[in-house]
Amino acid sequence: MSENFIFICGEDDFLVSIEGKKVFEALTADLVDDLSREVVDGRAGKADDVVEAVTAFISAAQTLSLFGDKKTVWLRVSLTKRVDVVRK
C-alpha cells in the first residue's frame, strides 16, 4: 500500500478546488481506467456525515484497482477552511 498523501488547504474555496483538481489530474494522467480514479465527497453537516465520509475514503483507499497497479483517491472536503486530500 502506498503512503503518499497530498494535503491542500486555504482560505479561498475556488483556488483550493482548482489546485486539488490540478493535482488529481496530474496524478491520474497515466492511469489506464476510470476505476483507478475515485473522488469521495467529504462534505459534512453533522458528525455522522464525517464518519460516513471518512469510512468511504478509507474503503476507497484500501480497494485495489481492477485493471492497474495504482489507484488515486481524492477526498473533497468543505470546512470553514477547505481541505482536499489526495491519496496515491
Per-residue pLDDT of the chain (88 residues; tens, 9 = 90+): 556 788 888 888 889 889 999 999 998 898 878 888 899 988 887 888 888 999 999 998 888 877 777 888 999 886 654 556 666 6
Confidence at residue 70, expressed as pLDDT on a 0 to 100 scale:
82
**Cell of residue 42, nine digits:** 467529504
Nearest-angstrom CA–CA distance, 37 and 60: 10
**Three-state DSSP state, 60:** helix
The pTM (predicted TM-score) of the whole model is 0.75
Which residues pair with residue 82 across a beta bridge?
A: 10
Q: Which of 27, 33, 29, 30 shows the shortest CA–CA distance to 73?
A: 27
The answer to whether 73 and 57 are in contact (CB under 8 A) is: yes
Confidence at residue 58, expressed as pLDDT on a 0 to 100 scale:
92
Q: From residue 83, how far is each of 40, 54, 87 by CA, in Å?
A: 13, 13, 13
